[in-house]
Copies of this chain bind each other. A is one copy, B any other.
Amino acid sequence: MKAKRLFHDSQRPGRGRPRQAATGHAILRATREILARGGVHGLTVEGVAARSGVAKTTIYRRWRSKEDLALAALLEVVQREPPVRHLGHTRTALNAYFGRMISNFQSRLYGRVVRGLVSDLAVDRELARGFREQVLARRVAEVTGLLQRGIERGELRPDLDLEIAIDLLFGPIYYRLLISGEALTSAFIDRLVGAVMAYGR
Contact = CB atoms under 8 A, between A and B. Distances in A.
Interface of A: 2, 39-41, 50, 112, 115-123, 128, 132, 136, 161, 163-165, 167-168, 170-176, 178-181, 191-192, 195-196, 198-199
B161 A167 contact: no
A192 B178 contact: no
Given A118-B118, A119-B40, A119-B118, A168 B195 contact: yes
Nearest to A178: B118
Copies of this protein in the complex: 4
Contacts of A123: 39, 41
A118 B112 CA distance: 12
A199 B199 CA distance: 5
26 contacts: A2-B50, A39-B123, A115-B119, A115-B121, A116-B119, A117-B119, A118-B178, A119-B119, A121-B178, A122-B178, A136-B179, A136-B180, A164-B191, A164-B192, A165-B195, A167-B175, A170-B171, A170-B175, A170-B179, A171-B171, A171-B174, A171-B176, A174-B174, A174-B178, A174-B179, A196-B199
